[in-house]
Structure 1
Amino acid sequence: MTKKGQFLVLVLCCTFLNNLSAQEIEEKENRLVTKANERYEEYSFRPAIDIYKRVLDKGYVSADLLKKLGNSYYFNADYTEAADTYKRLVEDYTKEVEAEDYFRYAQTLKTLGDYDGSKEFMLKFVELTSDDNRAKLYKSERDFLEDIKQNSGRYNVEPFQYNSPYSDFAPSFYKEGLIFSSDRDTGNLARYRHTWNSKDFLDLYKVNADSISMNAVSKLGEEVNTRLHESTSITTRDGNTLYFTRNNFKEGKYIKDEEGVIRLKIFRATLSDGIWTNIEELPFNSDSYSIAHPALSPDEKTLYFVSDMKGSLGASDIFMVEIKEDGSFGVPRNLGNTINTEARETFPFVTSEDILYFSSDGHPGLGGLDVFATKIAEGKFNGAVVNVGEPVNSKMDDFTFIMDEETRKGYFASNRAEGQGADDIYAFLETKPLKLECIQEITGTVRDKISNQVLVGATVKVIDENNEEVMTTITDSEGNYSLSLDCNQGNFVRASIQGYVPSEEYLGRSDGKAKIIDFYLERDTVTAGFGDDLAKLLQLSTIYFDFDKYNIRKDSEVEVEKVIAAMEKYPSLKIKVNSHTDSRGKDAYNLWLSEKRAEATVKYMISQGISEDRLSGEGFGETKLMNRCANGVKCSKAEHELNRRSEFIIME
């Protein structure tokens, strides 16, 4: 073989080896991405982040990788890194950005205090969605930052004295103290609480909250705390029944679903001689979805919890289920789309006054998870959802809010920067009650649509969305009405009066600003028959004439215009103008004068566009007086004026 041939073989071999090496590298990177995606799908975001970053550092990048890395940072509450990753995604892969990517980027920027940037990407999110509750809330006319400002400053907040350098959260009242969740004995700094990540080993602790000794903190008991993961809890008032969240496991082993996720379940235990016994999982738990974060109603007949089960609106929704007298359970029910959004609603707590507190990043807030409140009325969950404001809420995540309404004291957790650990518990005193009632003042006038005449004695009703009458009122002597309604719910305001077609206007939930609603009712033409006086049907003022005159007065032109408007609306309507005088003057003259008045009225109407063949007129002189003021009877000018009139009779 020639040297040239040997050289070509060497080049080809080197090229093959280089290609093989590149292929091996690509396969290795793909394996890494697959492994990261597996961790991502298991909600193990910290391991996923480490792998995604390794792949990125080697130059392998895609829209899908950036989305998952950004989401991993987002759900692990690392908002600075999340913002940088989302920024790269929206700039380099614009066509592949989806609505949820814009929403999480907007939330991330808000958490970092960039409200202008958050608004920019929230608008992009709104453009890509139509029926998303978050978009509807954002598109409403309310200034949510102003609402939050109005609700702020009602709490005195201080750090809980038993916080550790690790994660402490999920306080719940227990006898004279608290139960809370912590990973202080494991040294695990991962942030579990936002997701269904079950890999963080948390335990339940109890503490006498008023003790000054650090030894007051102790584990709840080895019957409840295992080598597995226990968190969020609630006890009955007597302290003898405990509901808590734990990993899905069986015979000491983790159970994974089809996607490899270790789900969460709620367990129940009873206290007997100081030991937690009869620990059992609730019957509506599942290996396919998570059930977590229990809360009880004031009467302890309802359990609230969080789940991503089928039928959930978002990443996690709040549900309720009946606790029957024998300890069994009813069928879980979603609280609905007033409370739940397409994002995360979690960590419910219900006070003795039936106020539901929960955390959400779907309702408008300051950033991350915020604490919200809503009044539960007769099992209905359609009341206003209110952000509790600063200093409970911050730009970071704020969650697991509880409060004793007798003392106005409570606790919550947050990962704000000034905290001691990954998450910290804070104690607070509420100095001013949160305003949850929403009363809206509605005023207006009810009028005839054609004549503009006010309708006295018209009925105005408020009817709720279940078509139940809430309240009613009557218009006064000037046709005015006023009423107050509950603006936490949608209402119909309906006006009606005999002889008219009812009219109504729908008012959705609002911020309670006063509103004016004027109603203009149309005549029910079926009630008007031949021979009726249209002037009475339209509630016109009398068409008066000056003494010994037959030209129409300026004040009467307005009333005649109303008759003209009626005839324009109903083209088949024919009118006969009947004109009358008072008794003063000779009878024959009065008859002539009344005929001239009828003629003048008809001519005026023709001049305003009414066809001549639809009009006729007749004068009756003083033959049809309205009162006692006949010849020889002494009457006042006002009494005589009543007889100088025109009528508008409906003809065939």
Structure 2
Amino acid sequence: MKFKDFKLFCIVILISFTAFSQQGKQRRADTLFNKFSFVKAAKVYQELVQNNYNKDYAMRQLADCYTFLRDPRNAARYYKTVVKQEHVPIEYYYKYAQALRGLKKYDESEEWLKRYKDSGGVVNKNDFSKDANFISSIFTAKQQYFLDRVYFNSKFSDFGAFEQNGKVYFTSSRDEGLGIKRLYGWNEQPFLDVYVTDAKSKKNVDYNNKLPGDVNSVYHDGPVTITKDGQTMYFSRNNFNEDIETKDRKGLTNMKIYRAHLVDGKWTNIEDLSINGNSFSTQHPALNNDDTRLYFASDRKGTLGGSDIWYCDINPDGTLSNVTNVGPIVNTPNAEGFPFINNEGVLFFSSDGHVGLGLLDIFATIKGENEDEIASIINLGTPVNSSMDDFSFFMNPNGITGYFASNRKNGRGSDDIYAYHREPELHVEGVVTDAINTKPIPFARITLFNDKGEQVAYMETDEKGYYQINIDRNQDYKIVANQDKYIDDYRTFTSKNIQTELTSIRANLLLNPKPNVVKLAELNTIYFDFDKFNIRPDAAKELDKIVDLMTNKYPDMVIRIESYTDPRGTESYNDKLSVDRANSTYEYLISNGIDPARITSHKGFGERKLITMDCGDDKNCKEEQYQLNRRTKFIVEKME
């Protein structure tokens, strides 16, 4: 073989060897990716990109690695190149839009989402594009949650904080203790364990703070929830029990919820629950207020998306039944998880399928008329939610303090626990009432002023005289009620130095009728039995109120009395009966101390002013219709 031919042969062999080496590298990267070892897979894909081997494919896989690692900065960096590839699958437009959202680049995100839709992509009804004003509304909404410092975070993943009886239980991959060598391939961190510390402690938390007992294993454990009596714990764990790991047909170890019991200060007697299965995951346990229902996340048969929120009943004997999907108002074609139920029965959860600020956001449910009915959901807004993952929400029984987790920027580790205190919406509420007969006044005008005399709110009372207005804390206010037939009334009040738990301030208002009004409906009508003119006990009570008003509150009030009958009987007979009713009413008031000069007249009008006009003598009317006509009413003619 000539030297020239030999040289060419060597070059061919070298190219073939290099190509074979790159093929092997791609197979290795794909194997790592399929085993969820995304940190290692990303390194190999990066090498393939640098070596320009199957570059388009490697770039897409590399970007996907960073998506699974919840790193939108690097994901967006590579998706930006991916979406320029010729014949790129349109799903990468959507992935790029999500990564941009994680970087708070909302305008650019909307552009790529539109391109995805214009290219034939289907967006589910809960996608963040459905409300163009969502971002601005979230950032301009009144802040209710305020962040507090947490002392027990680490440089690893920390989440799932649950507080009870002064102790905080949480899940962490911080284990750098004795003999720990095993790492979780997904993110190259130690496996998760459950830790416990004092809620007010500022000391470091290490492997010495691991939960005592048998809950922690060699695989993932946590998060947890504990019954109100502190004796039973439900916790997530890989499908691993009694030192046996079980995998599904795809070779994956799914999650299960187990139950443990507190015995001599240790959590032991681990139980595998009937709601679990080997072919799907069940995790993130949460209990309702009376420990009769267990909520969880699962991708079992019947799930709408990647994972859904489910619940089951906990029977008195500890058995579980009636596994139920919470439904499509909460669950989406994407992923929902980390349920939590507060003392008021409100379900909180995390989702990347509802309108949100970034990746996973935390939401709360809004109840319908039925207590068990979920009418809608609401995004908790900032600072609970961010452009990154926000999850594992917990609220203490006081409804004011709690925890959540996030992998947002400036944290100590990959996921960190954040404490919060909440200042709930405060409102002033009350009823506007007639001062004479204590009846509510509908459609009265309510005006709220601040301490500078500036109008800050305006509304009308409802048909029951009720009003409610949201107000700020630490402010002084004046509230005024008025209505055309009444004299204005006002109250001053303050929202300064009130308890955080307080959500409402009561301010009822009384309106007095304007003087010299010809007719006011403030004095209650009294009624009579058929063909009778004697004062019934119920009528006597109303007359006693009038005596009290005219004697004690309005000593100058002047009234007149008008009495009526129902249409049965002759007109002349009814005229006489109505006069008798007017006389008996008049005599009752006089006998109880009312000056006759303060009653200008007491007359009977028979059947000539019927309330039920379609109920004449020749018609078969109901008794309650007749009763409305057998009456005496009072008209205020003078107030001063």
TM-score under structure 2 length normalisation:
0.61
Match of 2:382 in 1: 390
The 10-residue stretch of structure 1 (253-262 or 285-294) with the greater mean CA deviation from structure 2: 253-262
Measure, in 2, the Cα distance between the counterparts of 1:59 and 1:295: 49
Q: Give, in whole Å, the separation in 2 of the partners of 1:340 and 1:234.
A: 22
CA shift in 2, pair 1:419/1:159, >3 Å: farther
Taking every aligned residue pair, what percent have the same amino acid on both sides? 37
- Relative distance call for 1:260 and 1:152 in structure 2 (3 A) is farther
Task: Kindly indicate whether residue 323 of structure 2 is the aligned counterpart of residue 340 of structure 1.
Answer: no
- Structure 2 unaligned spans of 5+: 428-462, 464-640
The CA distance in 2 between the partners of 1:260 and 1:18, in whole Å, is 42
Change (3 A) 1:131 1:405: farther
Contact 1:350 1:357 in 2 (8 A): yes
Residue 419 (1) aligns with residue 411 (2): yes
Partners of 1:191 and 1:139 lie apart in 2 by 38
1:56, distance to aligned residue in structure 2 (A): 1.7
Partner of 2:79: 86
Which of 169, 173, 180 is residue 170 of structure 2 equivalent to?
Answer: 180
What amino acid maps onto 2:410 in structure 1? E
- Superposition RMSD in Å: 3.1
In the alignment, the residues of structure 2 paired with residue 407 and residue 346 of structure 1 have an alpha-carbon distance, to the nearest angstrom, of 21
State the Cα distance separating 1:20 from its structure 2 match: 3.5
Task: Find the partner of 2:196 among 198, 201, 206.
Answer: 206
Work out which of the residue numbers 119, 134, 139 in structure 2 matches 1:144: 134
1:61 equivalent in structure 2 = 54
Find the counterpart in structure 1 of residue 321 from structure 2.
Answer: 330
Cα displacement (A) at 1:302:
1.8
CA distance in 1, matches of 2:155, 2:188: 21
Once the two structures are superposed, residues 574-609 of structure 1 have per-residue CA deviations (whole angstroms, 9 ceiling, x without a partner) of: xxxxxxxxxxxxxxxxxxxxxxxxxxxxxxxxxxxx
Matching residue's letter, 1:67 = R
**8 A Cα contact 1:74 1:82, kept in partner:** yes
The answer to whether the Cα contact below 8 Å between 1:336 and 1:381 also exists between their aligned partners in 2 is no
Secondary structure of 1:269's aligned partner: strand
Q: Identify the residue that residue 247 of structure 1 maps to in structure 2.
A: 238
Q: 1:52 is aligned with what amino acid? A: Y
SS of structure 1 residue aligned to 2:84: helix
2:343 aligned partner: 352
Which of 156, 166, 172 matches 2:156?
Answer: 166
Equivalent residues in 2 for 1:345-494 (5 A)?
345-377=336-368, 378=370, 382-433=374-425
Give the letter for the 1:171 counterpart: A
* Residue 129 of structure 1: how far off its partner (Å): 6.0
Instruction: Note the C-alpha offset of 1:411.
Output: 0.6
- The question of 1:236 aligning with 2:227 is answered yes
Q: In the alignment, is the contact (CA less than 8 A) between 1:159 and 1:424 conserved in 2?
A: no
Please tell me the residue identity of whatever aligns with 2:168.
L
Aligned equivalent of 1:259: 250
> Does the residue aligned with 1:384 lie in a helix, a strand or coil?
strand
User: Deviation at 1:397?
Assistant: 1.7
Does the 8 A contact of 1:196 with 1:263 survive in 2? Answer: no
- The alignment partner of 1:293 has SS state of strand
Evaluate the alpha carbon distance shift between residue 376 and residue 322 of structure 1 in structure 2; reply closer, same or farther with a 3 A threshold.
Answer: farther
Please name the residue that 2:292 is paired with: 301
Distance 2:188 2:413 in 1: 20
Q: Deviation of residue 132 (structure 1)?
A: 4.1
Deviation at 1:152, TM superposition (A): 5.0
User: What are structure 1's unaligned runs of at least 5 residues?
Assistant: 1-5, 436-480, 482-652
Deviation at 1:343, TM superposition (A): 2.3
| SS of 2:302 mapped into structure 1 | coil
Query: Does the alignment pair 1:153 with 2:143?
Result: yes
CA contact (8 A) 1:335 1:381 kept: no
User: Could you give the per-residue CA deviations for residues 472-528 of structure 1, whole angstroms, max 9, x where no partner exists?
Assistant: xxxxxxxxx9xxxxxxxxxxxxxxxxxxxxxxxxxxxxxxxxxxxxxxxxxxxxxxx
Residue pair 2:93, 2:112 contacting (<8 A) in 1 also: yes
Distance 2:278 2:15 in 1: 42
The alpha carbon displacement at 1:120 in A equals 0.7
Scaled by the length of structure 1, what TM-score is found?
0.60
Q: Any idea what SS the aligned residue of 1:420 has?
A: coil
Residue 292 of structure 1 aligns with an amino acid whose one-letter code is: Q
1:434/1:311 Cα in 2 relative to 1: closer, same or farther (>3 Å)? farther
Superposition deviation, residue 211 in structure 1: 3.2
Shift of the alpha carbon at 1:21? 3.2
Distance 2:327 2:59 in 1: 33
Report SS of the residue matched to 2:318.
coil
Structure 1 CA distance for aligned equivalents of residues 358 and 288 of structure 2: 28
User: Are the aligned partners of 1:138 and 1:364 in contact in 2 as well (CA < 8 Å)?
Assistant: yes
**CA-to-aligned-CA distance 1:554-587 (integer Å, 9 cap, x gap):** xxxxxxxxxxxxxxxxxxxxxxxxxxxxxxxxxx
Of 208, 215, 219, the residue aligned with 2:210 is 219
The count of corresponding residues between Structure 1 and Structure 2 is 424
Amino acid at match of 2:90: E
Counterpart for residue 96 of structure 2: 105
Following TM superposition, by how much is the alpha carbon of 1:209 offset from its aligned partner in structure 2, in angstroms? 0.5
Find the aligned partners of 2:334 and 2:5 in 1 and give their Cα distance.
Answer: 56
